Amino acid sequence: NAGVTQTPKFQVLKTGQSMTLQCAQDMNHNSMYWYRQDPGMGLRLIYYSASEGTTDKGEVPNGYNVSRLNKREFSLRLESAAPSQTSVYFCASTSSVQGGIYEQYFGPGTRLTVT
């Protein structure tokens, strides 16, 4: 049981380049999330998918797009990378535990640098 996996672990992009961050979970969770983590800012929600076939914006969606490919996989795409998108990106998934209460599991993170 691998839990939540992410690829790649590290990436360096030039301004204007595009890339897709991949995330997969094998826990049969319905909900999946993408966060970015910057020093002193905590974890900020970019996009989430409450169930297969749905996606919604979080706190900081500008410059990103997402695809919920199936129940297991949720990808994050940067169409035209900017230095402000330099960050550590975490994918997470949740199981609902009685009455809509969530316990969240995180992937290992992707460290992205945009020059």
| For other proteins, the closer CB: 85 or 110 | 110
| Smallest distance, other proteins to C-beta of residue 61, A | 13
Minimum separation from the CB atom of position 80 to other proteins (A): 26
Distance CA 1, CA 47 (A): 25
Please state the length of the chain: 115
**Would you list the DSSP string of 15-32?**
TT--EEEEEEE-S--SEE
Using the minimum distance from each CB to other proteins, give the nearer residue, 19 or 43: 43
CB of 20 to other proteins, least distance (A): 20
